Amino acid sequence: MTETLYQNLNLFNGKDDGIKDHCWFLVDDQSGKIEKLGNGAAPKADHIVDLHGKYVMPGLINVHTHITFNQFTPTGDTDISQTRAVVRAIKNLRTLLKSGVTYIRSCGDIYNIDIVLSKLINAGELTKVPRIVPAGRPYSMTGGHGDMPNWGYLVDSCDEMRKAVRRGIKRGAKSIKVMATGGVMTEQDFMDDPQLSAAEMHTAVVEAHHKHLIVSAHAEGNPGIMNAIKAGVDSIEHGFYVNDQEIKLMLKHHIYLTPTLGGAWKINTYGDKTLPKWEMNKMHNAFSDLVKNLSNAWHQGVKFTLGTDAGCPYCFFWDTPLEFEIIAKKLHTSNFASLLMNLHSAQLTKLDDHYGTLEPGKYADFLVLDHDPLKDLKAVQQKDKQVYQHGKRQF
C-alpha cells in the first residue's frame, strides 16, 4: 500500500463555515480515501503533492443532469441514434468533470444510456468522467412532459407505472424520475398542468423505496407540486410555484428542492436570441414569481440541492459552479449557505457516507482553486482548476 500526502493547502471541508489554514491530508492510493487530515506537522508518505497555499474544497455533486441532451437546442434533440447519443453523453460527462463535477445524478436520459455508462464507469472501463447515479428514462403520462422521442416511459395507470418502474430498476436505474407537471421545454403543456396523478407517482415511490432508491419529481406548478409531495417523493425538481403549505410539508417530510435557478435565469436573460416564442413566454411569465417562491422556500429552511438541468437550453455542462453564485445573489443567501447545496446533494443521493465533505474515511474527490470560495463564489468557476477523483488528478 502506498500513500500520497497533499500539503500546504487551505481547506473548506464542505460542511463547516470557515477555511482551515495550513492543512494537509493523507490519501490511500489504492482505495482513494482520505486516511488522515490535519494541520501543522504532516506525516511521512510515499508521495507528496505541495499545493502551494491554494484552496481545496469537495468535488461537486450535480443532481439534475441530462447527459444525452443537446444544450444548444430548444427541446434537447432527443431524436437521434443511440451511437450519437453515447458520443454526446461522454463528451458532456467530460465537460462536467472539467468544470469540477465529480458525481452526478441523472434526471432522465434517452435509451437508458446513463445506466449503461454508469456500469462501464463502475467497472473501470470508462474513465475521466463523473460517477453517476443513473435514472434511465423518466416516467411520464402519454402526451406529458416526458413524451419526447426515445425518452420517457409512458404510463397511464398505477399498474402501468408499477411494471415500468420495476423494469427500469431491473435495467439498472438507481434513481427514479417522474413527471408531475408540464414544463418549459414541451410546447403542448404549461407549468401548472398536473400530469401524473398522486396515486401513479406514489406507486413509483413504493417500488423505488422497496429497493432503497430515491424518487425525484419534475414539478414546476400546482397542483402538481402538491401531488408529488403527497406521493412521497424525495426531491422536488424546479419547484417554481412552491407555496407555504407545500413548504411546511417538505420540511415535515424532509423533501429536498433542486431549484435549477441558474438555468432559468440564463434562459430568461439570453433565450430570446435563439429559443421559440412559446418557450420564452413561459419563462418570462414565470421568472419573477419563481425567484420569489424559491426565496421563500429557502428562508423557511427547505434544503436546496445543487442541480442545473444540464443539457436543457442554456443549461450548459460547464455551468455547475455558476449555480452557487446565482443562488446567493437571487435568493440573498450567504456564500457558505449556497455552498452547502453540495452537501445536501450528497445527502439526497445517499452518498454522504463517502462523498460531499473532505474528512477521514471519505473519498478524495476535491477541487484545487486559486482563491477562497467562501469569500467569492466566482472562485469555484475557475476554468483551469485542478480536479481530483479518488486522489487521482483528472484535470
So what's the pLDDT on residue 1? 87
So what's the pLDDT on residue 25? 98
**Same domain, residue pair 117 and 29:** no
Whole-angstrom distance, CA of residue 90 vs CA of residue 100? 16
- Residue range 314-371, pLDDT digits in tens: 999 999 999 999 999 999 999 999 999 999 999 999 999 999 999 999 999 999 999 9
In the predicted model, what is the mean pLDDT of the chain?
97
Measured CA to CA in angstroms, residue 263 lies from 71, 267, 317, 326, 350 at distances of 11, 6, 11, 10, 25
214-232 exposure pattern, b = at least 16 Cβ within 10 A, e = fewer: bbbbbbbbbbbbbbbbbbb
**Beta-sheet pairing, 366-369 with 386-389:** antiparallel
- Residue range 46-88, pLDDT digits in tens: 999 999 999 999 999 999 999 999 999 999 999 999 999 999 9
**Same domain, residue pair 159 and 214:** yes
Percent of the chain exceeding pLDDT 90 equals: 98
Residue 112 has pLDDT above 90, yes or no: yes
- Residue range 248-301, pLDDT digits in tens: 999 999 999 999 999 999 999 999 999 999 999 999 999 999 999 999 999 999
Number of domain units in the chain: 2
The answer to whether the beta carbons of residues 150 and 111 sit under 8 Å apart is yes
**Same domain, residue pair 221 and 305:** yes
**Same domain, residue pair 180 and 78:** yes
Domain at 203, CATH number: 3.20.20.140
The answer to whether the beta carbons of residues 85 and 113 sit under 8 Å apart is yes
**Same domain, residue pair 159 and 22:** no
As a whole number of angstroms, the longest Cα–Cα distance in the chain is 63
List, in order, residues 6 or more apart from 61 with CB less than 8 Å away.
101, 102, 103, 104, 105, 306, 342, 345, 346, 349, 351, 355, 356
Percent of the chain exceeding pLDDT 70 equals: 100
**Same domain, residue pair 72 and 46:** no
**Same domain, residue pair 36 and 157:** no
pLDDT (mean) for 97-116: 98
**Same domain, residue pair 380 and 247:** no
**Same domain, residue pair 271 and 381:** no
What residues make up the domain containing 364? 3-58+357-393
Measured CA to CA in angstroms, residue 107 lies from 161, 176, 331 at distances of 17, 8, 24
Q: Could you give phi then psi for residue 101, rounded to 5 degrees?
A: -90, 115
Residue located via cell numbers 429536498: 256
Continuous H helices in the chain: 82-99, 113-122, 158-171, 198-210, 224-231, 244-253, 261-270, 277-300, 322-331, 335-348
Rg, Å, the chain Cα set: 20
Whole-angstrom distance, CA of residue 35 vs CA of residue 390? 12
Residue 209: pLDDT band (50, 70, 90) is: very high
**Same domain, residue pair 243 and 110:** yes
**Same domain, residue pair 22 and 82:** no
pLDDT (mean) for 130-140: 98
So what's the pLDDT on residue 196? 98
Q: Could you give phi then psi for residue 334, rounded to 5 degrees?
A: -75, 160
Domain at 369, CATH number: 2.30.40.10
DSSP state of 271: G
Nearest to 174 by CA among 139, 214, 205: 214
Residue 40 has pLDDT above 90, yes or no: no
Residue 269 CB coordination number (10 Å): 12
Nearest to 221 by CA among 314, 131, 283, 172: 283
Nearest to 241 by CA among 295, 178, 281: 295
142-178 exposure pattern, b = at least 16 Cβ within 10 A, e = fewer: eebbbbbebbbbbbeebebbbebbeebbeeebbbbbb
**Same domain, residue pair 179 and 207:** yes
The answer to whether the beta carbons of residues 102 and 358 sit under 8 Å apart is no
Q: What is the DSSP string of 196-253?
A: S-HHHHHHHHHHHHHTT-EEEEEE-STTHHHHHHHHT-SEEEE-TT--HHHHHHHHHH
pLDDT (mean) for 167-195: 95
